[in-house]
């Protein structure tokens, strides 16, 4: 695993800054929710669920882009493009549930997306830094959502 994490050193600076910067709303809103300021608690967890829905859509868009890049056709196209719309729909549908449920569903959805993504066919060879980055981002985001759901 440490060798995988070492591959992050080869990632473009923009990827690291924007990727890990995108975790700030997850972590900060989860921390704010944990401290439960009465006047802001509902706002913090609702905002976290809304942000998670946006990120779920982003994760799905990545899969759409990978399918386009690989020029997926036939059954593979249905599988890959079909999967790419699930995160956005799932993130949005989660918002239709009580907020604590939404946070848990979105955490599970992010982990599921990573698990499926690692098994989807691809013609391209991704850079060595992509997998460890995706694992790190997914882990922190999912843990933040799960923690906030029980705060």
Give the tens place of pLDDT for each residue, 28-70: 999 999 887 777 889 999 999 999 999 999 999 999 999 999 9
pLDDT at 3 over 80: no
**Interval 77-129: pLDDT, tens:** 999 999 999 999 999 999 999 999 999 999 999 999 999 988 887 888 889 99
Tell me the whole-structure pTM to 2 decimals.
Answer: 0.93
Count of other CB atoms within 10 angstroms of residue 17:
11
**Interval 17-26: pLDDT, tens:** 999 999 999 9
Q: Look at residue 108 in the predicted model and tell me its pLDDT.
A: 98
């Amino acid at each position: 695993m440490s060798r995988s994490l070492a591959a992050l050193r080869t990632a473009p600076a923009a990827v690291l800054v924007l990727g890990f910067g995108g975790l700030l709303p997850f972590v900060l809103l989860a921390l704010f929710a944990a401290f439960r300021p009465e006047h802001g608690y509902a706002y913090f967890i609702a905002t976290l669920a809304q942000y998670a829905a946006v990120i779920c859509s982003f994760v799905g868009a990545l899969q759409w882009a990978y399918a386009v890049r690989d020029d997926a056709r036939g059954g593979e196209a249905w599988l890959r493009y079909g999967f790419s719309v699930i995160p956005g729909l799932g993130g949005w549908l989660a918002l239709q549930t009580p907020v604590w449920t939404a946070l848990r569903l979105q955490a599970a959805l992010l982990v599921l997306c990573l698990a499926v993504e690692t098994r989807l066919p691809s013609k391209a060879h991704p850079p060595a830094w992509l997998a460890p980055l995706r694992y790190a981002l997914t882990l922190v985001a999912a843990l933040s959502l799960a923690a906030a759901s029980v705060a």
